[in-house]
Structure 1
Amino acid sequence: MDYGILKFKEPQNNIQRKIIHVDMDAFYASVEIRDNPALKNKAVIIAHDPRTRGGRGVVTTANYEARKFGVHSAMSAQVALDKCPHAIFISPRMSYYAEISQQIRNVFRKYTDLIEPLSLDEAYLDVTENKINLNSATLIAREIQKDVWNEVGLTCSAGVSYNKFLAKIASDIKKPGGLTVITPDDAQDFLWELPIHKFYGVGQKTAEKLEQQEITNGRELYELSAKFLVDEFGKMGYRLYQRIRGIDNTPVAANRERKSVGKESTFGPFLVSEEQVIGALRELAASVHRSLEKNKVHGRIVTLKIRYADFETTTRQKSFSSFVGGEQDIFWKAQELWLEHGEIEREVRLLGITLSHLAPQHYTNIELPLWNKDENERKK
C-alpha cells in the first residue's frame, strides 16, 4: 500500500473532559437477589433452567458467586449447570430489568444530561460541566454510586478519566462496587501495563494476531509504528495507535433517538421443525440488516416475536454490549432467543425480528498517516 511521501502527523489528545463510565454489577442477577434476599450468597444464573428445556438455553448473566466456577454470559446454560450444579437458575425478565435501568438513568440525570447508554446496565456520562457544579468527576462518581444504592438498592462500579476509552477500561478494574480513576498523568503507565486482550474494542481475533507476534501488552504495542498497525489492521490499526497513547476524542453521544427496524413473516403452512424456524430467522435477519444499511443505523437490542398456531404471541429480547448491525450478529441473537423461549411443538404461524435502541452509523473519516513509500521498518 502506497501512502505517498508526506510525514505522519501525530494525533492530538483532548485531556480537558471529565468522563464517567458506570457499569452495574451483575445487573440482572443483582436485581433478582435484591428482590429475593434468600438468594444472597448463593450462585445465581440468569437463564432458563436447562434441566427443564432439554439442555437448551444461554446464560444472560451470572452473579459473582457463580462466576467463581467459571460461569459467564453467553455460555450455554447446560455448560453453566455442569460447572456449577448447585446454582439457582432464574428465567430473565427483560422488560422488568429495563424499568430498573430507567430508574438508574434518572439518578444519572441529577448530575448531567450528557448520558450515552451502552446497554441496560452501563452508560457513559460527561460531567465536565454538571448540574451540581462540582469540579471533581471522582466525587461525582462516588455520589452516583451512593445514590444508585440508596434509591435503587443495587451496586455499580465506575471508571473516571478524560475520555470514554479509559473510563470504560477503568470501570472493570475493581468489581463489584469499585471506583478507579485514570488521570492524564497516569494514563501512559497504566496502558503500558495493560494486557492486549484488556484493551476495550480489541476483539479476540485482533488480540490473537498481536499475541502471535509477541505483542502481549500495551508497552509492546506502543513500540509499533503507525504504518505497521495500519498495514496490518487498517483503520482499526490507526485506532490502536491512538488508544495506546491514551487518545480517544469521541464525545459522549447523548442525543440518541429510540427507534426500531423490524421485519416479520407469516407462514402457511405453519413451521413445524427447528430447521424451518432457523431458516426463517436467517432470512429475517438478512432483511433487517438490509433495512439497517438503507437507513444507516445500528442498534443494541434484538427482539424476537413468536406467534403460535393458537394465536398466542410472545416477545423476548437480548441486548448487545455495543452497537451492531451485522446480519450474522442479529441472527445469532434471534436464534439464542428462539432456543431459550421457542416451543416448536406448538407450531409457529409468525416470526419477527426487531433491532431497537438505534443510533446513526457515524462513518468517521479517520485521517490515516502518510509515510515514505520506502519505509519497511516495523518498529518506530
Structure 2
Amino acid sequence: MPVSSLKINAQERRITFHADMDSFFASVEVREKPELKGLPVVVGSDPKGGSGRGVVSTCSYEARKYGIHSAMPISQAYRLCPDAIFLPVNMKLYADVSVKVMELLKGFASKFQQVSVDEAYLVPGPEIRNFEEAALYALRIKDEVQKQEGITCSVGIGPNKLIAKIASGFQKPDGLTVVRPGDVREFIFPLPVSKIPGIGEKTAEILGSMGISRVEELANCDVQLLSGKFGKMGLRIKQLANGLDFGEVREKESVKSISRHGTFAEDTNDPVKIAGSLNLLIESVHNSLLKNHFLFKTITLTVRFEDFSTYTRSKTVPIWTSDLFVIKRTAIQLLSEFIGGRKLRLIGIGVTKLRGKDEKQTLITDF
C-alpha cells in the first residue's frame, strides 16, 4: 500500500478525512466474481462489438492501463481493449454495498458527510489529537473496509475538506496521504489546476489561455484579473489554490439516517454496562425520530472492539414504524452476537430507510 506522509508531527489543526472507494463499481464486481481479479473490467453499457452508444461508468485499474476511463464512449473502450470484461451496471448491488460502507465509516466519525455513493468526509473524535494519530486511525479505517466489504479505499487527511479531497486521489489505489497544515502549499502548488475540485475542463482551458497551468501560478495570480474573467468564482478559485477551504463537514439537509455512537470511558465487556449505554443511544435516536416526524425500516448496530476492529449488523423490519420497542428489541438481537467476548470500545445504533409520517403509505400497526 503506497503511503505519502508529508512531515507528520504532533501539530494539530482541524483534522479532516476524505475516504474514496477505489474504482467502486468495478471493485464490487470483482469482489462478487473473484475470477475477474487482475483482469481489465469495464462497467457500463453493452459495447455491442464496438457499436454500442453508451458510456463507461467505471473500470478497474487494469483496464485503465489501456487508456479506458469513466465517461468514455463504450465503443471507444471496446476498441482500446476488446478483450476486456464488459459488465452491465448493477446499481442495486452498488447501493447496498455503499450503505454498509458508509455506516462503517460513520462509526469512526464525530462528524460525517457522504458526498456520493463511494466517497465521504469525516472528522474523527477528540481521541485523535494530531496528524500522526490520524494516519494510524486511517489505516484502521482502510483495514475495516477491506475486511468487512472486500474492497479497498484511499484516504486523504488534511486541515480542511479541499486538501483531504485532493490527498485521497494522490496515491490511488489503496493509498493514504497525510498533509499537515504547514505542508499544504508544498503539496498543492506543483499540481495542475485541474486537480482543484470545481475547476473543470473549460475553466482549465481559460486559465491556460492566461498562462496558468499550475496551482502555484493560480495562487499568485492577481485576484482582480481572475474576477474579471470568472466573476465571483475568481476569488474562490484563488482561495482554493492557496489551500483555503472553510467548508464544514456536515450531513446534507436531506436526512437519510439517524444514528448515535458512544465511546466507553474504559473498554468493557460488561453486558449490563453495554446494554445500558445502548439503551441511552436508542432513546436519543427515537427522540430524534419523533422530533422530525420520521418512520424507519432498517436498524443498524455498530460495535468497535478494544483493538479498533469495527463491525456493523443491520436488520430490516417488515413495516414502516417509529416504535421505540422495535428498535430496542432488534438492537438487542443484533448485539447478542458480540456479548461475552472481547471488550468493546464503542457502540452505536442507527435507523435508515426513513420516510415522513405524512407520506402516503399503508401502515400495519401490529408487529
The bucket for the TM-score relative to the shorter chain is 0.5 to 0.7
Length, aligned pairs only = 244
Amino acid at match of 2:207: L
Matched residues in 2 for 1:104 and 1:115: separation? 13
Within 5 Å, which residues of 2 pair with 1:85-124?
85-124=82-121
Q: Report the Cα distance in structure 2 between the residues aligned to 1:138 and 1:89, rounded to whole angstroms.
A: 36
Do the aligned partners of 2:39 and 2:62 also contact (CA within 8 Å) in 1? yes
1: CA distance, partners of 2:213 / 2:110: 38
- CA distances 1:219-245 after superposition (whole Å, capped 9, x unpaired): 211221222211211121111121122
The yes-or-no answer on 1:160 pairing with 2:157 is yes
Number of the residue aligned with 1:141 = 138
> SS of the residue aligned with 2:76?
helix
Match of 1:41 in 2: 38
Contact 1:62/1:71 (CA < 8 Å) preserved in 2?
yes
| C-alpha contact (below 8 Å) 1:46/1:61 kept by paired residues | yes
Q: Which SS does the other structure have where 1:23 is aligned? A: strand
Once the two structures are superposed, residues 151-204 of structure 1 have per-residue CA deviations (whole angstroms, 9 ceiling, x without a partner) of 111100010001011111001110110001111111012222111122221111
Partners of 1:211 and 1:46 lie apart in 2 by 33
Which residue does 1:211 correspond to in 2?
208
Give the match's secondary structure for 1:193: coil
Check conservation: 1:26, 1:62, Cα contact below 8 A.
yes
2:243 corresponds, among 242, 246, 249, to 246
* Percent of aligned positions that are identical: 42
Matched residue SS, 1:174: coil
Measured after TM superposition, the shift of residue 133 of structure 1 is 5.2
Residue 137 of structure 1 deviates from its aligned partner by 2.1
- Give the secondary-structure state (helix, strand or coil) at the position aligned to 1:169: helix
- SS of residue matched to 2:218: helix
- Structure 2's unaligned 5+ residue stretches are 1-11, 257-367
Matched residue type, 1:257: S
Shift of 1:65: 0.7
Normalising by structure 2, we get a TM-score of 0.63
Alignment of 1:277-316 (within 5 A): none
How much has 1:216 moved relative to structure 2?
1.2
Report the counterpart of residue 62 of structure 1 in structure 2: 59
49-58 or 182-191: bigger deviation:
49-58
- TM-fit CA distance, 1:75: 1.1
* Aligned mates of 1:191, 1:64 — CA distance in 2: 24
Q: Which has the higher contact order (CA 8 A, sep 6+)?
A: 1
Residue in 1 aligned with 2:170? 173
- Structure 1 segments, 4+ long, off by >4 Å, are 132-135
What is the DSSP-based 3-state SS (H/G/I as helix, E as strand, rest coil) of the residue aligned with 1:190? Answer: helix
Q: For 2:216 and 2:129, locate their aligned partners in 1 and report how far apart those are by CA, in whole Å.
A: 35
Once the 2 structures are TM-superposed, how far is the Cα of residue 94 of structure 1 from its aligned partner? Answer: 0.5
Could you tell which deviates more after superposition, 108-117 or 168-177?
A: 108-117
Secondary structure, counterpart of 1:112 in structure 2: coil
**What secondary structure is seen at the aligned counterpart in 1 of 2:108?**
coil
1:74 aligns with 2:71: yes
- CA distance in 1 between partners of 2:211 and 2:50 (Å): 44
- For 2:250 and 2:216, the matched residues in 1 are separated by 30
Is it true that 1:256 corresponds to 2:257 in the alignment? no
Q: What is the match of residue 359 of structure 1?
A: none
Partner of 1:51: 48
Contact 2:59 2:70 (8 Å CA) reproduced: yes
